[in-house]
Amino acid sequence: MATVSGHTSAIRAKKVIGTTVKDTTGNKIGAIEDVILDKMSNNIMFAVVGFGGFLGMAEKYHPIPWSALDYDEAENAYVVSYSKEQLKAAPAGSIDELTRDDGLAIRDRTYDYYKAPRYWEGNALR
């Protein structure tokens, strides 16, 4: 089923993983490494974007609220309204660190940092 913007409302995780993430000027920031699911609410907790490493070494993983990613078909990439500098200052860690204790602490820090609507609160947009 298509959304208002014309995007489909369902997508396979394997199609999302590996997709490039760009800023609004078209500069590549990184790529989606994983998608973390919230099993209690049946929502996507956050996407994990990796950037900064070379061949997987010293790469930092940044959780980004799913609602902050906008797929641009022409760019074949997700576009975020954050600069690389904003992302560098954002919460980050290894994938294990991001999912420690059910990922709730990093989720809350991430949504606070980006001032994103909290999907787990009743009034938030999904």
**Residue 56, in any domain of the structure:** yes
How much is the pTM? 0.81
Percent of the chain with pLDDT over 70: 83
**Residue 107, in any domain of the structure:** yes
Q: What is the pLDDT of residue 121?
A: 86
Contact 84, 29 (CB under 8 A): yes
What confidence tens digit (pLDDT) does each residue in 16-30 have? Answer: 999 999 999 999 989
**Residue 66, in any domain of the structure:** yes
CATH number of the domain that residue 66 is part of: 2.30.30.240
Q: Which of 22, 16, 52, 55 is nearest to 36 (CA)?
A: 16
Domains held by the chain: number: 1
> Mean pLDDT, to the nearest integer, of 78-102?
89
**Residue 7, in any domain of the structure:** no
**Residue 121, in any domain of the structure:** no
**Residue 8, in any domain of the structure:** no
> Which string of b and e fits 11-24 if b means at least 16 CB within 10 Å?
eeeeebeebbbbbe
Confidence of residue 51 (pLDDT cuts 50, 70, 90): confident
**Residue 6, in any domain of the structure:** no
- Count CB atoms within 10 A of the CB of residue 107: 22
Which domain, by its residues, includes 47?
13-114
> Mean pLDDT, to the nearest integer, of 24-46?
91
**Residue 126, in any domain of the structure:** no
Q: What is the pLDDT of residue 56?
A: 55
